Structure 1
């Protein structure tokens, strides 16, 4: 379920009354204006608007703003007579207009303004009849003012709901808060007087809806703050108490440093005797303007404790002002052990996430005792919803007697981080693997759990996440029920209206999204029972998606059922427990068949080995040409007991030891049985044998590669979003005060969109950066050296060099805002993401491409010039992928 459409079509009143109060907190309640009273800070009520202009799906990250051809909206002055050319404007032009805000409210603590922008002169109906939902996406700019009437400078939080990009005076900010999370606002100090604010309005159908008038509704809010360490969100993220026991000990509090100096968190201590608390990582720093979670463990000494209150000890840089305390409390929620309840667990980023767990019911007719092993029924929520919303957590209440562990993962954020892909799906897997810890924590005496057997289902975006699990973890999924889900990002709202782009660039961008085209990975579903359900009246996710995938499943010889509900829309009460879904759940949790053991003839299609699991005992570990699909077809001859494997674009793969029991194993017409080691060979690692294609094309058995910096492997594989496969918090290192602003922006965006934790440090400091990935920000020649001594991208003070796979070198001189963003290897399968520019303005251009929104398309490296700001991806002068040895691949573009 998409964010805007979900709430607008299904849960609007629920959103207004509940979600806003929970997620935005008391400080976000709309302000009341008081006539005749001068407030310390206010928004203007009249705004200057210029637009609309075309924009493609998720294209804004690349720039693609036609006004940048004239120096940008910030350099244009309001003039009613001036026209600008626009492909969607009447007569091919648009001009300035004045808009009154929908509402403007102020009081002594801040100011709010709401804008509802429409362009009624555009024939949206006709455009949509030709281009579909893509035609309802557009961009424009709005200019207003912030007035500080107070005599002293004011430190404020600026919330930018549904806005991606904006300027305040001469300062540019990219990232904003496109989904209205309000988790990581800008901390800014404003001098007395007027300040111009220019906001880029970008309409996105997935978040704003495709039904009715294509409006752009945005919210801006200013809140005065004290300039010290404050709670960024009221309360503590903590598990529920089940039958007198805390379901899990992990807890966290989100803090924000609104002061001008860094703050060091010294520890956490409990404020009441019935509770104890212990900091997991004492001594970490919250930089000025940064938002970070504080993680700690909690123990209850009394079974009837009603709340937890803790104090966070901290001090400012250099110990100025001594030690201070920030207190926060949270009422404990009590649940029956058999009802859905909240558990907390660690995400790989070392942040506390949560899930809703419902263990097998005591009256369920399952095998009793701890020695039994029941599967996990995973339910993935739609976009814009939290796992603890009643609509999600109680979706399966009508079937309490399932012989399964029911788990509703949070995916970290209401958009599951990245549509249940790398970031969100890692949260799913860690939630599943936390169940044994829960069993120990509550002294569970009921049936055990099989962590490797999943029945997976989900609604809308969760339905899409179900397809992701099916195609990327086929050995874990025993059955699946995607409900009202979409095929892929590209199919949901087509990528029309992008700026012109040559086929090589578009192919590279498309290749970087290959892992999320479920329609291309459908062969991986063979052997897995699937039930699809979709409402025929769905105007949110059209039934075309399910119908199309049903057709592809048939063509791939996949066993599936398809149910289309004639009079139902996208959501209705009981959508996850219809009669056929209940029967399917019951049937599949009782099925003890091992999918992989029964597979004999099958196919495995791989886009990115880094996010792909095995199927049938085979796992691809390297592709020959990254950015293109790899494939292995396995054919079993029942008469001879022989296996024949055909590969395409595969450089190395692992094959399970069970294949040694066959009479023959032939790989690409070459008999391998005589080369495969016996059962005691050191070449067998956890039952796996690794095969690699040699330079002459012959397959050979080889040792598993040690993850270093020379060979690319595991979590390092993928496009720029591979940086999200992290074990530990991010470290963002920068050079100076000039680059600190970009470091803070990157940290803010990572927290806003992923709830990700990051430490900001100066690159001149040496020491342990932890186990996580590193983001390096540099200007000119002052860039931290690569851990790879022959890395193919090198920079100087005013140029960048790329060495292609054949050793030829291309030098890009530093004019026209040269900048770049690219991955580099670190030890232990870690990654470094480099953001580089010849100057600060160029650096801002590269920083736009740090992974944030899904579907943007960011390959392993991109070299840009300032023309990207109006040309979009066509303004990139080089882009492409790195191969298994960190060489620039042959499919890359080096202009």
Structure 2
């Protein structure tokens, strides 16, 4: 009987799936594609999952071999902590299928469980309880004569299988930058999609559903990309600066870029750019051809120069070549781009620049108005008012008009993008680097357009932001205190841990959990507020905010006072998360004008006097100086470091008290007045002059002055968890150390492009990668991994990893003995202060497990190293053998967690 029921269901499933393919749509009479999705999908869930936990696996179906190994059985039951009686089972759901002619088809899947007591769970555990996971299974069907290349993308999901090929990364935020290229044989192909609900991206109101959009699109050329112009200034896949001054104006900047994808089955090299030479010239920024392996997407950066007047569209071409039958075949891909023409240079407009990662980014710039009263001096240098957007928003949208109601501010108003609408990593490592590069581009803009107005003080920021941008304000305030002259945090959350707590992570040893929280210390702004001392701060929040509860601003208003700093807090009665004019209310407008007026007065006043202050540091690699004091290295990474300073006004003795600090640097005018200096009670014979800096190191018993160049082997860009790899000064080099590693190397490249807008070069030559400017990601299997360039505690063998455990003792994790599917992800040093991120697995399947931990979504909490096996896929963090940090000497820190 059960077999008959299953057969009947399968028949219905096939009938619902095999809708006409290649015929006409009965409603629109448009031709249907030669490929489509099944109409009925099989669903299994819901299961518990914590905030940003999916990178660690934590999939309970892995206890039963994984969803991909399960077959549909309506009578099978599965244990789940979220449902009645603790038991769930299979169900089915219909998807909405739509298409655009024969070229593209979409399947929209919405899954929810209204019978689950979500409201009770939320009342008990908060938003964290509204996050859940599950799986969905359907099919792709192609006609018998369909043999082309298809492009596949899944919006709203991070993990899926197509037939027996596993993909981790997906397109969680719907960026649609780097689809997967598929070469499918005719017929049916199974698709398994992991459903993961995330409050931060999907919201916390109503029944917590998951909405996923799957897309199939035909590839029409070996070199593809989203190159179709839409409207001026909004070219999908093309980034162009605006033209200011009308038809006879100038480009606001010289850089542009286009995302291109290799849909061929061989490597393609882009070696040049061309335009209409009587009108425009294009030049690749790279000094040598750019390589794209099959299936790879890269942002191609180039310089542009045109002679006015400007046409409605500009034709450009990318020159590329590939080898075929021993011959070098050359082609040119042409496209039309439509830059936006603005008559008024004082309007907010798009300015492009090079991100430190080597690709082109943009910001929206509004120069100081000619009507602004900013003093009589012709050489006046004005600060930068930085406005950080919220999650999911482009700077080039209504965001750029946020300060229209304050048109005459004595400041350069700048709207950075953070590279992506989600600012990649919430305005932290990658996003803050984008902010600093955008600010640094303003002087070049002045040269480009022939600006004759006020100058810019790029080191003085009045920083503001809304929602996630408000959180970014707290980050800038606590991590760049010497640049921030004042701060305005609007409707911002206090920390990612407070916003959606980590309550529902799978249970694990507290030692493991402590390492995750230690890695996320830089997000814990509540612990870093002493860095805001002596910096004016204003907070504003709507009392009826259902997106970021007003509690966050109330909490920070309390904690900032407890930290010896101060803020003025305005809670707006009855106001929601966002409303028109949210950034220019009277309290905010008065604050901006007051702070800018004070800045003008300070430029002609006496230099800043020395004050008592503290600097608290979670990661030296992310934290700049405060009043000229900068911590370079901690004794124990993953724990807070602190420098407290006070000057005796009678003796003019400058006294420092440190905690968990190994190296620090002093510099700046405020130390000119120090007649004597002590560090932790030790007298230091040193005089610090303006324009000079001095570096101090703690030895076993004393402090001493050291040469900064040799003060530490492990500092600056190398410090932090795995996300320190994001401090690359140039495109990432991804080294596939064997052909079996190709799939994972391409997956990492695709994820970096999708979530960070980053450029990557996939190579086979390790020496080539070591000679490049950017950081390196090594993808290795078994014995393929080369030895470290310097000392490193990890010894990697073909089927084992060992680390020192004191004296002559070693901890050894060996495949088959105490591990199954052994994998590791860890940082190594390479020349010139760069980093190598090693992704290693005992075999190709184990390598895929480790690759999940390459930084992608913020809040996952990856420290300097992780050693695990496939138990991690089911147990999550509890399935990890070792994780922790490296010290300044590249030893394993004492607070790391290692399973003997």
Structure-2-length-normalised TM-score: 0.92
Shift of 1:517: 0.7
Residue among 601, 605, 619 paired with 2:612: 601
Moved more, 738-747 or 273-282: 273-282
Deviations 1:657-711 (A, max 9, x none): 6535323222112222xx21575xxxx9x51111110122x1111111348xx81
Distance in 1 (CA, whole Å) between partners of 2:111 and 2:494 is 31
Q: Does 1:386 align with 2:394?
A: yes
Q: Is the 8 A contact 1:376 1:450 kept in 2?
A: yes
Partner residue, 1:690 = 695
Pick closer, same or farther for the CA change 1:182–1:805 going to 2, 3 Å.
Answer: farther
Shift of 1:637: 2.1
Shift of 1:321: 6.7
Distance in 1 (CA, whole Å) between partners of 2:875 and 2:333 is 48
Q: Does 1:575 align with 2:577?
A: no
Partner residue, 1:749 = 751
SS at match of 1:469: helix
Shift of 1:301: 1.8
Q: Does 1:154 align with 2:148?
A: yes
Q: Is the 8 A contact 1:45 1:104 kept in 2?
A: no
Pick closer, same or farther for the CA change 1:766–1:251 going to 2, 3 Å.
Answer: closer
Q: Is the 8 A contact 2:539 2:569 kept in 1?
A: yes
Distance in 2 (CA, whole Å) between partners of 1:706 and 1:808 is 30
Q: Is the 8 A contact 2:770 2:830 kept in 1?
A: no
Partner residue, 2:16 = none
Structure-1-length-normalised TM-score: 0.93
SS at match of 2:752: helix
Partner residue, 2:174 = 180
Distance in 1 (CA, whole Å) between partners of 2:146 and 2:400 is 48
Q: Does 1:784 align with 2:786?
A: yes
Pick closer, same or farther for the CA change 1:641–1:301 going to 2, 3 Å.
Answer: same
Residue among 534, 537, 549 paired with 2:556: 549
Deviations 1:818-848 (A, max 9, x none): 0000000011110000000000110000000
Residue among 884, 887, 896 paired with 1:892: 896
Q: Does 1:802 align with 2:795?
A: no
Pick closer, same or farther for the CA change 1:703–1:757 going to 2, 3 Å.
Answer: same
Shift of 1:330: 1.5
Alignment of 1:148-227 (within 5 A): 148-227=142-221
SS at match of 2:608: helix
Distance in 1 (CA, whole Å) between partners of 2:308 and 2:42 is 60
Alignment of 1:467-482 (within 5 A): 467-482=474-489
Distance in 2 (CA, whole Å) between partners of 1:219 and 1:639 is 69
Residue among 64, 79, 83 paired with 2:77: 83
Moved more, 762-771 or 845-854: 762-771
Partner residue, 2:368 = 360
Partner residue, 1:49 = 43
Consecutive unaligned residues in structure 1, runs of 5 or more: 1-30
Residue among 716, 719, 736 paired with 1:717: 719
Q: Is the 8 A contact 1:508 1:859 kept in 2?
A: yes
SS at match of 1:591: helix
Partner residue, 2:501 = 494
Partner residue, 1:14 = none
Shift of 1:737: 2.6
Shift of 1:447: 0.6
Shift of 1:724: 0.1
Q: Is the 8 A contact 2:267 2:292 kept in 1?
A: yes
Deviations 1:506-555 (A, max 9, x none): 11111111111111101100000001000001000000000000001111
Q: Does 1:445 align with 2:452?
A: yes
Q: Does 1:465 align with 2:472?
A: yes
Deviations 1:447-495 (A, max 9, x none): 1111111000000000000000000000110000000000111110010
Residue among 531, 544, 564 paired with 2:538: 531
Partner residue, 1:261 = 266
Q: Is the 8 A contact 1:470 1:525 kept in 2?
A: yes
Partner residue, 2:741 = 739
RMSD: 1.9
SS at match of 2:452: coil
SS at match of 1:176: coil
Distance in 2 (CA, whole Å) between partners of 1:807 and 1:650 is 29
Q: Does 1:665 align with 2:681?
A: no
Q: Does 1:246 align with 2:251?
A: yes
Partner residue, 2:333 = 326
Q: Does 1:843 align with 2:854?
A: no
Distance in 1 (CA, whole Å) between partners of 2:269 and 2:420 is 26
Consecutive unaligned residues in structure 2, runs of 5 or more: 1-24, 229-234
Residue among 584, 592, 602 paired with 1:585: 592
Q: Does 1:676 align with 2:686?
A: yes
Shift of 1:273: 1.5
Q: Is the 8 A contact 2:737 2:778 kept in 1?
A: no
Partner residue, 2:440 = 433
Pick closer, same or farther for the CA change 1:272–1:36 going to 2, 3 Å.
Answer: closer
SS at match of 2:621: helix
Q: Is the 8 A contact 1:161 1:220 kept in 2?
A: yes
Deviations 1:213-243 (A, max 9, x none): 1111110010011350012343431111112
SS at match of 1:365: coil
Q: Is the 8 A contact 1:158 1:221 kept in 2?
A: yes
